[in-house]
Amino acid sequence: MTSLLVSIMLVVTQKLHGHLSFDSQFGVQKLHSAPTPRIGGIAVAMALGLGCVLLRGEAFDFWWMWAVAALPAFAAGLTEDLTKKVGVRMRLAATLLSGLLFCLLSGYGITQVDIPVADQILSVPLISVLFTAFAIGGIANASNIIDGVNGLASGTGMIILAAFALVAWLEGDLAMVSVCLLGLGSLLGFFLLNFPHGRLFLGDAGAYVTGLLLAAVAVALPARNPSLSPLIGLLALAYPVVETTISMHRRIVSDGASPGQADRLHLHSLIFRSRARQLAQAMGQPRLRSALTSVVLWSLSLLSCTLMVAGRDNSGLILLGLALVATVYVTIYRRVALLRPREPRERQVA
């Protein structure tokens, strides 16, 4: 309710703060047709902050350590949302710092991945901490990368948190169930204003907070429950991880560009300009192109999370599931890449 009410307030008062908060419709990755507030992260953060009064014991202890750790990334993201002047490197550094703070404050880290050589390397505390910080920061940025169409990042986050909550419940870890449900509810209130028509955007701050929460739970859940495979988080987060990995490969190898340079070749961008456009035209609802893109891509997270829950205690099955999700992603990407429009200056309508 907090998230929903704050989201409504941000939309209603947009004329007052729009000169700072509007996300311009112009840009290589922009798929909307009118300026829209991109400060939905404020609603999510306030909901997480006020909702913590419902947490008790270990759940509250986990929350406050995560909340303190998330401050650098949230601050950098919100500053970018309001000023559009925070560089990619600065924001990346902020997310990595948040990942490092979470490791140091909570004591949770990635100490094994059930691969002998890697486990020996990760047994060195310093390497484990640095690797965990890098992984958490990477997921935060991956969440930002998929935040390109209405409901995709927040919907994906809710699906993953629901799956983590189910696994935690099956393991009897009620503290993590509480944390996951708090995060899910905080995203849901915003989601109702973002999907399907995009009246409010998550922004960098919201995307980073979402990614950091997903990553923190992905690290803590197997650490707290040794019967789980340490790779469950990687499979649950397979869609944003694969999207980010392939995007970096495409930019560096294929285009010779910086891995942080924006482009219009993400999977959601291609589906928006091909399959989603066809579906929207067939329905007579061109404004639903953005929402339809998210509906299509949620299937990847539903697949990865279903496989994660089913194979949660078997690293071999988890790796097979990861390979399957990656294969499905690449297959879809290749198909829609062949359908992308040739007109580079096409105007998009979200």
Tokens representing 309 are: 């829950």
CA angle 141, 228, 156 (to 5 degrees): 35
- Are 237 and 214 contacting, i.e. CB atoms less than 8 angstroms apart? yes
Residue 340: per-residue pLDDT: 62
pLDDT band of 346, cuts 50, 70, 90: very low
Q: What is the mean pLDDT of residues 34-43?
A: 94
Q: Is the pLDDT of residue 350 over 50?
A: no
pLDDT band of 275, cuts 50, 70, 90: confident
- Are 347 and 30 contacting, i.e. CB atoms less than 8 angstroms apart? no
Taking the model in full, what pTM does it have?
0.93
Residue 62: per-residue pLDDT: 97
Q: Is the pLDDT of residue 29 over 70?
A: no
Q: What does the alpha-carbon distance between residue 229 and residue 242 come to, in Å, rounded to a whole number?
A: 20
**34 φψ region: left (φ > 0), alpha (ψ -120 to 50), beta (else):** beta
Q: Is the pLDDT of residue 131 over 90?
A: yes
- Are 336 and 275 contacting, i.e. CB atoms less than 8 angstroms apart? yes
Listed residue (90, 48, 47, 93) closest to 66, CA to CA: 48
Q: What does the alpha-carbon distance between residue 62 and residue 67 come to, in Å, rounded to a whole number?
A: 9
Find tokens 């696994």 and name the residue: 167
Angle at which helices 88-106 and 57-83 pack, to 10 degrees?
170
Q: What is the mean pLDDT of residues 311-318?
A: 96
Residue 342: per-residue pLDDT: 53
Residue 341: per-residue pLDDT: 57
Residues sharing a CB contact under 8 Å with residue 105, sequence separation 6 or more, in sequence order: 65, 68, 69
Give pLDDT tens digits for 92-114.
999 999 999 999 999 999 999 99
- Are 168 and 33 contacting, i.e. CB atoms less than 8 angstroms apart? no
Tell me phi and psi for residue 22, to 5 degrees. -65, 140
Tell me the HSE value of 100 on the side-chain side, using a 13 A CA sphere. 10
Cα 255 versus chain centre, distance: 25
Give pLDDT tens digits for 51-64.
999 899 999 999 99
Residue 50: per-residue pLDDT: 93
Q: Is the pLDDT of residue 337 over 90?
A: no
Largest CA distance in the chain: 58
Residue 200: per-residue pLDDT: 96
Residue 259: per-residue pLDDT: 64
Tell me phi and psi for residue 98, to 5 degrees. -60, -40
pLDDT higher at 73 or 278: 73
Listed residue (195, 205, 218, 156) closest to 44, CA to CA: 205
Give pLDDT tens digits for 211-269.
999 999 999 999 999 999 999 999 999 999 999 999 888 877 765 666 666 678 899 99
Tell me which H or E stretch contains 22.
strand 22-23
Q: What is the mean pLDDT of residues 310-327?
A: 97
Residue 34: per-residue pLDDT: 77
Residue 260: per-residue pLDDT: 62
- Are 197 and 289 contacting, i.e. CB atoms less than 8 angstroms apart? no
Residue 63: per-residue pLDDT: 96
- Are 121 and 132 contacting, i.e. CB atoms less than 8 angstroms apart? no
Tell me phi and psi for residue 266, to 5 degrees. -70, 155
Q: Where are the alpha helices (DSSP H) in 13-85?
A: 14-21, 40-51, 57-83
Residue 257: per-residue pLDDT: 61
pLDDT band of 287, cuts 50, 70, 90: confident
* Alpha-carbon separation of residue 177 from 93, 236, 308 (angstroms): 30, 16, 16
- Are 285 and 26 contacting, i.e. CB atoms less than 8 angstroms apart? no
pLDDT higher at 182 or 285: 182
Q: Is the pLDDT of residue 348 over 70?
A: no
Q: Is the pLDDT of residue 347 over 50?
A: no
